Amino acid sequence: MNGKMELLFWQLVYFFIQQRYRIVQLADDAREIWLESLENKHVPIVRLVRYDIDWSQWLKRDMEYAWRIAEQIQKRRIRKFNKMVNIYISTYPPVDDWEFLIEKPLPLLQQRNAALQTFLIHSGNIHLSLQQLADMFQAPVTFPAIADVRDPFFEAERLKRAVFREEREQQERERKLFKYGKPVFTYIFIALQVIVFLLMEWSGGSTNPDVLIKYGAKFNPLIQAGEWWRFFTPIFLHIGFLHLLMNTFALYYLGMTVERLYGSWRFFFIYFTAGFFGTLGSFLFTASLSAGASGAIFGLFGALLYFGTVYRHLFLQTIGTNIIGLIVINLVFGMIVPGIDNAGHIGGLIGGYLAAGIVHLPNHFDWKKQMRSLLISVGIAAFALYIGL
């Protein structure tokens, strides 16, 4: 085994880790590594293979294998891309003709203009290949001169350990993201809406319009008369046991997730802001009496979508697909089934997203983005109140 090429392999792996790629698949012998980018939209997938290639036939078969995997990855991805890169590190090139195999990228059938680009780096073309990679990734691919390294195997092993250490640290940071806060207000809000429901039932029934109005349901004439608190009080009112049951389950599962991600006080702000925007949307577009936590709960969906804009890769790998699917299903359901206040749902979704943008994620600061979210929120609210009142 050639120590210099072994070192070059791990230098390249470490380079991509530094470019915010992460390992998504690793062969048992660590000779084949697939990496996925957190940020690079055009070349999101890179495959690195350390193998001393003797014949071009092996190269052809392995390129076909990589192409099939690339096709499968492309089908699963929501975002489109331009290239996937397949890099071989071999001490020497194949003994027979091989250049024609990598001369042109292999087109990927699932998307127009997408292709699998292959590089074969051997001891005779290292400088040229690294320059080509630098041009493609628009970043300098430069390493300490391998010839100056006394023990390339030792240095390769050191880099290998550094790569796996950074991967473990990244996984630990991501794990901690979902355990930042402890659910406190989720339980308090659930208890409040159950207590209020029991009080309404005791007062004459949660489906009784007079009882609903008495306890603070959204009722446009009274809001227009100055009872502004009705933008908030409907969050804790429910019309019938089934309505309470569905929203309680939704608040439990979504609330636990969002409060752990954002922390309790950020969650409190997001929930009430989303509830306000949900009631505001209902106030503008529906004249009927309404109540329920649905707008605030849709705001929790919005907060999770905002999380997805900050950690797109992690979001799509974990909860993203389910969250987007649930939002679409609920909105479509609201359009088909009569009596569902979809305006309130959409208002809450927008409010939750903007509120999450205002408070941002814990230990994250982006004052420009936060101020922009605040100004947009105030602008929408002021304009809607001006129209409605």
Provide the annotated active-site residues. Answer: 294, 345
Distance between CA atoms of 302 and 306, rounded to whole angstroms? 6
Distance between CA atoms of 121 and 190, rounded to whole angstroms? 60
Three-class DSSP labels, 312-372: HHHHHHCCHHHHHHHHHHHHHHHHHCCCCCHHHHHHHHHHHHHHHHHHCCCCCCCHHHHHH
Phi, psi of 342 (to 5 degrees): -65, -30
Distance between CA atoms of 153 and 156, rounded to whole angstroms? 5
Give the type of residue at 5.
M
Tokens 């492309």 belong to which residue? 74
Complete DSSP assignment for 378-389: HHHHHHHHHHH-
Closest CA to 48 of 20, 77, 10: 10
Q: Helix axis angle, 241-262 relative to 264-285, nearest 10°?
A: 140
Complete DSSP assignment for 42-75: SS-EEEEEE-----HHHHHHHHHHHHHHHHHHHH
Upper half-sphere CA count for residue 227 (Cβ side, 13 Å) = 16
Collect all residues with Cβ–Cβ distance below 8 Å to 298 and sequence separation of at least 6. Answer: 274, 278, 327, 330, 344, 345, 346, 348, 349, 352
